[in-house]
A and B are shown apart, each in its own frame.
Chain A
Amino acid sequence: MGNKEHVEYPEALQPKYEQAKKLAWITIGYIVSVVILMFMVMGQSQAMKTAWADDTVGLISPISFLVASAWATKEPNKRFPYGFHRVANIAYICGALALFLLGLYLLIDSVSKLVSGERPSIGMAVIFKTPVWSGYLMMLVLLWSVVPAVILGKKKLPLASDLHEKTLYADAETNKADWMMGLAAMAGIIGIGFGWYWADSVIAGILSLDIIYDGFTHLKQATFDLMNERPTTVSHQEEAPVTQKIHDLLSGMSWIKEVNVRLREEGHVFYGEALIIPEDTPDIITKIKEATRKVHEVDWRIKDFILGIVDKVQAD
């Protein structure tokens, strides 16, 4: 009951969903170009290596978004009666874990390079038969890793909010923050150019702290999602108002004495139930059907909602 036809997004949001998928493909193509170019010019700069590793992991978000979109809309079946919405959560936790571990690795790497006093060497590159210092080429590539990323990030952010798509949101935030990463890596290279070899490892260390922080934040949220935390807003900042709205709607009905609403996130959508103690009332079946219909109207994300009659309601 309460199970509408199995599409992930309502009609009005479909174009945005298609656009988000297109942007995810563009992001993948773009990041692949950045990763290849960076690898070609990387040299021994630790800051550049850190930025490169971060960009490589940046592939996980758009890929998991696309994988999840292919799976999440699959019909529930006998074996998986709740459907496949949680594929998105699994993709999310995988990406977060990769980011977190990568950050730790890069931090250890940078600190050990700083302690052992490693001095990065950057030699010559040949552009159009002219010998130039490779550092300039590296800066140019870093610029390519910054500007389109910021534009893509800005385009994806509002779509992610509208679609309640956390993977995409995290991806957009990372892209938007990429300019710091790129500029810091450029500063590292200029530092090497001035003979301040330590600047490179110091900047790499700071960048890896940022990666660890990002990874930890996402890992925490992904874990909370899988533990059925009450729905939060897509930026994870606060509680989504939807639980309160349903509670207000149901407790406003005269035939309901007490109610406890529980919602959980399954990927982009909400599953949940209201446990109610009804007044002694005739025609309860019609009333339950009517209430269920009204609950579904509160928010498009409410996918599967059950009203259950109990004799005791747990306090909030």
Chain B
Amino acid sequence: MIGLGFILISTLAAFLQHIHFPKDAERTLDKVTYGTLLVGFTNAAPWVYPSSTGAQGIEAAIVDSFATTLHAKVEWIEGTEEQLYKALRRGEIDILVGGITDKTPWKEEIGLTKPYIETAVVIAQAASQALNNQHPSVEGQPVAVMKGTDEGYYVRKKKGRPFYTTQLPVSKMFSVGYDWQVQDWKMQNTGIVLKKESHVIAVPPGENAFLLALDKYLFEHKAAIKSGLNH
């Protein structure tokens, strides 16, 4: 019975594929193909941040190459998070990037892709430190964290002392960063994980053809995106 249902739904799926299913509520995919992709972004290094050409960073690169597959021009629009979420919700922009994770409080009101990368926020230590420190502990130790993030909270939970800075890493000090940044910093991962993040890209709600196209692009380039992180 269930097997029969499986066949039925597969047949239905095959038929619907033929008529371009699912469709967008507001035809976003049609509009941006050979057109312009309006991309809102917030300054969220290293994911995306402003540059002379508009934006750069990991997510800027993803959006640029996705736009190429649609033969679309990208127009970058920098704004605040709330402003851009509201614009996205009403379909005034086509994509929103800015280091968004699947835990975003706006997730009920907008469309989110599947996570294109899972990263861990870890504590890194200088390579020289690592030599005589096989089982590192940050208890009572200063740990460099970016000012204005929640990293200090997690460091305190591990009994470390947050050292607030605006420039990471801090040499010869434990420093908080993404697992894939540690190597760039020429440091070593202590294996202490503060939190995990699943990064996503936001699209207008109900634009399911467009969402599926972006989801498929991310799925097919997952490996490339991941290796792109460690230059």
Chain A residues engaging chain B, CB cutoff 8 angstroms: 44, 118-124, 126, 131-133, 135-136, 139-140, 143-144, 147, 192-197
B152 close to chain A: CB less than 8 A: no
The residues of A that contact B113 with a CB separation of less than 8 Å are: 123-124
When C-beta atoms are compared, the residue in chain A nearest to B220 turns out to be A131
On whether the beta carbons of A121 and B22 are closer than 8 Å, the reply is no
Q: Is the CB of A121 within 8 A of B206?
A: yes
Known contacts being A126-B219, A194-B23, is A121 close to B9, with CB within 8 Å?
Answer: no
Task: Check A118–B205 contact: CB distance below 8 A.
Answer: yes
Min Cβ gap A62→B in Å is: 21
Q: How far is the CA of A124 from the CA of B206 in the complex (A)?
A: 13
Decide: B22 and A193 in contact? CB cutoff 8 A.
Answer: yes
- The one of A131, A133, A140 in contact with B22, judged by C-beta atoms closer than 8 angstroms, is A133
Main secondary structure of the interface of B (DSSP, over half): mixed
Partner of A143 from the list B2, B112, B114 (CB cut-off 8 Å) is B2
Distance in angstroms from A255 CB to nearest chain B CB is: 62
Residue with the highest number of chain A CB atoms closer than 10 Å, among B12, B21, B112, B113: B21
Is B228 engaged at the interface, CB distance under 8 Å to the other chain? no
CB contacts under 8 Å to A, within B93-121, are: 108-114
Q: How far is the CB of A137 from chain B (nearest CB, A)?
A: 9
How many pairs of A and B residues are in contact by the CB < 8 Å rule? 91
The residue of chain A having its C-beta at the shortest distance from the C-beta of B6 within the complex is: A140
Contact across chains for A124 and B212 when beta carbons are under 8 A apart: yes
Q: For A118, A139, A193, A195, which residue has the most chain B Cβ atoms within 10 angstroms?
A: A195
What's the dominant secondary structure at chain A's contact region? mixed
Q: Is B148 an interface residue (CB 8 A)?
A: no
CA distance A139 to B21 in the complex (A): 14
Nearest CB on B from A202, distance (A): 14
Whether A143 contacts B5 by the Cβ 8 Å rule is yes
Residue from B108, B110, B208 whose CB has the most chain A CB atoms within 10 Å: B208
Q: Which residues of A contact B9 (CB under 8 A)?
A: 136, 139-140, 143
CB distance from B4 to the nearest CB of A (A): 9
Query: Contact check: which of B6, B203, B208, B220 meets A195 at CB < 8 Å?
Result: B208
Q: C-beta contact mask, B160-171 vs A, less than 8 Å → 1, else 0?
A: 000000000000
* Docked complex Cα distance between A139 and B6 (Å): 9
Chain B residues with CB under 8 Å of A123's CB are: 111-114, 208, 211-212, 215
Do B22 and A119 have beta carbons less than 8 Å apart?
Answer: no
B25 touches A119 (CB 8 A): yes
Q: What is the chain A residue whose CB lies nearest that of B21? A: A193
Q: Which 3 A-B pairs have the closest CB atoms?
A: A119-B206, A121-B111, A124-B215
Whether B205 and A194, one on each chain, are in contact in the complex, defined by CB atoms closer than 8 angstroms, is no
Q: Is B207 in the interface zone, CB < 8 Å from A?
A: yes
Bound CA–CA A132/B2 (angstroms): 19
Chain B residues whose C-beta falls within 8 Å of the C-beta of A44 in the assembled complex:
108, 205
The reply to whether B5 and A194 form a contact with Cβ atoms under 8 Å apart is: no
The residue of chain A having its C-beta at the shortest distance from the C-beta of B216 within the complex is A131
Among A119, A120, A132, which residue has the most Cβ atoms of chain B within 10 A?
A: A119
A121 touches B207 (CB 8 A): yes
A222 to B12 CA separation, bound complex (whole angstroms): 43
Pairwise interchain contact A147-B212, C-beta atoms closer than 8 A: no
A27 and B215 alpha carbons, distance in the complex (Å)? 37
